[in-house]
A and B are shown apart, each in its own frame.
Chain A
Amino acid sequence: MTQKLSNAQIAWRAAQDIEDGAYVNLGIGFPEMVARFQPEGREAIFHTENGVLGFGRAPEPGQEDWDLINAGKKAITLKPGTAFFHHADSFAMVRGGHLDVAILGAYQVAETGDLANWSTGPKGVPAVGGAMDLVHGAKRVAVITDHVTKKGQPKLVEACTFPLTGVGCVTRVYTSLAVVDVVDGRFVLREKLPAISMEELQAVTGATLHVEGEVGDLICPEELADA
């Protein structure tokens, strides 16, 4: 593979699909980066599981108030319109279908929309947090991920081999090579890097990529290539 998107570019691409006024939950870690790339003129309202809606950016170092954190236990800030609530209300927002978008990381996504992102097996200490809740309820459940693992194994597969987070829950995957939708148990390719051929892309994908209509060019800002 000669070329792939940086994490910042993947996050940027995912951010382009977030509508003005959308209620959005970003998973811990890499997905949090999506918040940096809200398109001009649009404002998403971010939800975090531990009970804050409509929070602001990270504070300057030294300005943290550790009673004001996100689900990743990172410091956040207030902004006009921030709301606090307890955990049961927070997950009513999640399971009750009130979020427009959840953007999560993944170990594997299956063509059925199954997601594995909480455990790589029985070793170590298991931890799930809100992952299994978040995959149910948001109107769109999107994944951002490298197209393959560090060892080059496909992350888009026919069936997950890692323990599942949820069944049939993912609607779109933004990878380092392509944008893929899950439609009726199939991966449908929407966009791919112009420099990669269909054959090359299929070769690093663990399930058939279907084409319905035009496949767009996946083009992201160059200045994010090294970010």
Chain B
Amino acid sequence: MDKRLSSLTEAVADIQDGATVMIGGFGGSGAPIELIHALIDRFLETGSPKGLTVINNNAGNGHVGIAAMIEQGMVKKMICSFPRSADPTVFTERYLAGEIELELVPQGTLAERIRAGGAGIPGFFTPTSVGTDLAEGKPVQQFDGRDYVMERWLKADHALIKAEQGDALGNLTYRMAARNFSPLMATAAEKVVVQVTKAVEPGEIDPEVIVTPGIFVDAIIEVANPAQEEELNRAGAHHP
């Protein structure tokens, strides 16, 4: 078995129109910029994929990564906790114009919904959002005298994530706070594609430090010296 791919183009080739895509990262840390930009390049060449539902903590910053996907018109809906950033202009303008849908989810609920999706748990109860506008329409149940809101699992057709090291079997490590949602998303999508900063042979990663075991990963593509979204934005970058 060897899950290593040879090109970014190949890595994003089978994402269809209307797909739901989880994209790792919290702000700029962990954003798989090269995978996202490969997807945008495919859209610009072929007109596909479009009508995407994107799941991420945020809704893009500046004019690269998810913001660039939105700017090109590929995204129909964002599921996120915090659609604000240093430069949220792209999402904000489209949202206020009614051109993009937003499902706002508390951050911990977003994480747990993805975890549940990956773990085969269709629903769970949480104290988060009880008595607030974000609990409207959701079942509430009392446990030991306290109210909890029922939340549903969240799954996706694809996950695009960034990891530090990955071996040919798909075992992954992450880099510092760039880990964030990625290990959860790796469990909750049908097809999981990972850009790794360093691709290695099985056995080269100490089994004690593997964060995402290879069973959750379908393909890895090595992107040495990856771009960091925050650094791109501080340099005023645009894609394309």
Contact = CB atoms under 8 A, between A and B. Distances in A.
Contacts of A68: 29, 176-177
Contacts, number: 144
Contacts of B35: none
Interface string B142-186: 000000000000000000000000000000001111111111100
Contacts of B108: 49, 87, 90-91, 94-95, 130, 132-133
A69 B81 CA distance: 17
B82 interface: yes
A128 B180 contact: no
A125 B83 contact: yes
Contact of B133 (A69, A124, A137, A163): A163
A66 B180 contact: no
A129 B81 contact: yes
B82 A129 contact: yes
A91 B231 CA distance: 28
B176 A67 contact: yes
Given A95-B108, A126-B102, A136 B127 contact: yes
B134 A132 contact: yes
A133 B107 contact: yes
A137 B127 contact: yes
Contacts of B134: 128, 132
Given A88-B115, A91-B108, A166 B132 contact: yes
A76 B110 CA distance: 24
Nearest to A129: B82
A219 interface: no
Contacts of A91: 107-108, 111-112
Interface string B212-238: 000000000000000011110000000
B228 A66 contact: yes
B62 interface: no
A49 B104 contact: no
21 contacts: A50-B180, A66-B28, A66-B29, A66-B229, A67-B29, A73-B28, A73-B86, A87-B110, A88-B114, A91-B108, A91-B111, A114-B131, A125-B92, A127-B82, A128-B105, A129-B81, A129-B82, A129-B106, A130-B108, A132-B109, A167-B132
Given A95-B108, A133-B106, 9 more contacts: A51-B180, A69-B177, A84-B176, A87-B184, A91-B108, A125-B88, A129-B107, A133-B128, A167-B130
6 closest cross-chain pairs (CB), A and B: A91-B108, A133-B108, A167-B131, A87-B111, A66-B230, A130-B107
